[in-house]
Amino acid sequence: MKLPTPWSSRLIEKQFTHGLSESDQVKLFAILKDNNAHAATYQRYHDLEAALCQSPKPTLFAIERMERLIINQTLAGTTKASRRFVHVWLASSAALGTLAVLVFALLLPWQNKLDHQALPENARFSPVVINTRGQIVPRETGIGIRVFCVVAEDTVVKESIEPSYRDVLTFTYSNVAKDVAYLTLLGIQNKGDVRWYYPDYEGSRSISIERNVVDEPLGDGIKLSVNHEPGDLRIVALFSAEPLNKALVEQAAKNMSPSQLTPLMGQRQDVLEHSVLIHVAEPMGEE
């Protein structure tokens, strides 16, 4: 599966600087299997990391990277289907692999894959205008998200802006709550139409997140011109100790209007919910 180079390169860099979520790591390893240039870059980062640490391999950081995934998945009690996918992929012949990718690509709604993109180099961000009366605040203040709009490099960043559907959004999260280790982030438009951010459309459950962080960037840019439309967009962040099943969240969002002020997951005590309502405007001159 050959994904856009800048995105793949960013994943590699992030693996060695910030660490990746489980789902992104699985994606990254599938890319490396298929792409010698990226595998070489990964190896180079790995060797440089060892040189910096002056330690035999694996370095402390490699040990911590592997540990995060192993412990989280063990405690979640499942061997991720996506990991199995990597190994099935690895074991298959090149021809079968190529065929599988083609079928996979044809079966997936193609447009769903395109709303996530790498952020531009030196991107600048502006906070997005939040409808304060449309906010669902969490029971605990230790978690939350912020929504930003990517703006041109020469833009003077205002206090906050209303995004148009030609814009790209990005998110940060904070997590200083006790026992929160997973995040599910999605958008809801119209009557319960779900736009998946984390996990993305291919993922099956929440992503693991860091603890004790404030305004930690999630990294991807979300193109509003793909999968979204002008109008209200509710962005829902669900923080939990255990990963949530995507199908369950989708079921809860069914028929939910963006302006509805009911928590998506009802009164579930094991889920902390922060939800904001924003408006996606028609771009200038197209209204």
CA distance 125 to 168: 10
**Three-class SS state of 141:** coil
Residue 223 pairs in a beta bridge with 168
Contact call for residue 48 and other proteins (CB under 8 A):
yes
Contact call for residue 202 and other proteins (CB under 8 A):
no
Q: Which is nearer to other proteins, 163 or 203 (CB)?
A: 203
How many residues line the site for other proteins (CB under 8 A)?
52
The length of the chain is: 287
Within 10 angstroms of residue 254's Cβ, the number of other Cβ atoms is 10
Interface map 85-104 toward other proteins (x if CB under 8 A): -xx--xx-x-----------
- Long-range own/partner contacts, residues 48-55 (CB < 8 A, 24 or more apart): 49/16
Q: What is the dihedral of CA 6, 9, 15, 21, to 10 degrees?
A: 40
* CB 82 to other proteins: min, Å: 12
Contact call for residue 141 and other proteins (CB under 8 A):
no
Which of 57, 158, 191, 254 is close enough to bind other proteins by CB under 8 A? 57
Contact call for residue 17 and other proteins (CB under 8 A):
yes
**Under 8 Å between Cβ of 20 and 69:** no
* CB 74 to other proteins: min, Å: 4
Whether the CA torsion 263, 189, 255, 241 is positive or negative: it is negative
Contact call for residue 161 and other proteins (CB under 8 A):
no
Contact call for residue 2 and other proteins (CB under 8 A):
no
Strands 213-217 and 168-175: antiparallel
Residues 59-78 that bind other proteins (CB under 8 A): 60-63, 65-67, 69-71, 73-75, 77
Which residues make up the interface to other proteins (CB under 8 A)? 13, 16-18, 28-29, 32, 36-37, 39-49, 51-55, 57-58, 60-63, 65-67, 69-71, 73-75, 77, 79, 83, 86-87, 90-91, 93, 210, 212-214
